[in-house]
Amino acid sequence: TEWPVTGKLEICGLVAGYINSVPVLHGLSFAVAHGEKIGVVGRTGAGKSTLAQTLMRLIEASSGKIILDGVNVAEIGLERLRQAITIIPQDPVLFNGTVRFNLDPFGDHSDELLFDALRRTLLLQDQSTGRGSGVAAFTSLDDVIMGSGHGLSLGQRQLVALARALVRRSRVVIMDEATASVDFATDECMQRAIRGAELANSTLLCIAHRLRTIIDYDRILVLDKGKVVEFDTPKNL
């Protein structure tokens, strides 16, 4: 059966943290409607990345629930969950292999679709002119990525993870933006790509470090010390 049909998320009393230490998330509760675009902000250490990892069950919650489209995610297989939710991590680790393999490891999609994702994320260099955008890293889908992607810049690695998200079109996409080390042009490129047609219908949680990046989002979730301190429209905050 098809699940999830919508990207509706309900987080109830979520407590989570790292092994052998005190919890980082102290009972978070909030709900996100299908297709809503949520900006997540908070000081360094507030628990933003921990929340993202807990939603993916990379960290298991010690109590509370995550309900995605009516189903408690603790009760479904990890593989299914990770198909339903795509994360663009703060520091992505890529596969050693071709660009094609990184975007579409199971060979589900056409080259045209993969090229589209590369173009939208400005990762594709134009072979005829030899020029690309400031961030272009690849000339073909057969380019090989080695060293888990560490030959690329952090911004480029995030763009590859974003291109993968465009290809997958998951119902829920979580973007954990890299910190200020990523330049404004890359940041803008990511925002433009994530607002494109592919993910127009997906629920988006974007962890951002610059307020101006998310000022036109539907709502802003403000975290502090593992708690929700505000959750409202940018206008009301």
Contact positions vs ligand ATP (CB under 6 A): 18, 21, 24, 42, 44-50, 90
Q: What is the DSSP letter of 207?
A: E
Residue whose CB is less far from Mg ion, 91 or 142? 91
**Taking CB within 5 to 8 Å according to partner kind, which of Mg ion, ligand ATP, none is near residue 4?**
none
Nearest distance from C-beta of residue 60 to ligand ATP, angstroms: 14
Residue whose CB is less far from Mg ion, 49 or 86? 49
Question: Contacts with Mg ion in 58-97 (CB under 5 A)?
Answer: 90
**Structural contact between residues 72 and 65, judged by C-beta atoms closer than 8 angstroms:** yes
Nearest distance from C-beta of residue 183 to ligand ATP, angstroms: 17
Residue whose CB is less far from Mg ion, 90 or 121? 90
**Taking CB within 5 to 8 Å according to partner kind, which of ligand ATP, Mg ion, none is near residue 155?**
none
Pairing of strands 9-17, 63-68: antiparallel
**Taking CB within 5 to 8 Å according to partner kind, which of Mg ion, ligand ATP, none is near residue 46?**
ligand ATP
Ordered DSSP codes for 94-139: --SEEHHHHH-TT--S-HHHHHHHHHHTT-BPBTTTTB--TT--BS
**Which of 206, 169, 213, 168 lies closest to 188, judged by CA?**
213
Residue whose CB is less far from ligand ATP, 90 or 121? 90
Give the span between the Cα atoms of 6 and 96, in whole angstroms. 33
Residue 78: CB atoms within 10 Å:
11
- For 6-18, the three-class secondary structure string (H helix, E strand, C coil) is CCCEEEEEEEEEC
Nearest distance from C-beta of residue 147 to ligand ATP, angstroms: 22
- With CB under 5 A as the contact rule, the residue among 7, 40, 47, 49 that binds Mg ion is 49
Nearest distance from C-beta of residue 102 to ligand ATP, angstroms: 24
Residue whose CB is less far from Mg ion, 52 or 103? 52
141: its two tokens: 């889908």
**Structural contact between residues 17 and 62, judged by C-beta atoms closer than 8 angstroms:** yes
Nearest distance from C-beta of residue 79 to Mg ion, angstroms: 25
- Interface with Mg ion (CB under 5 A): 48-49, 90
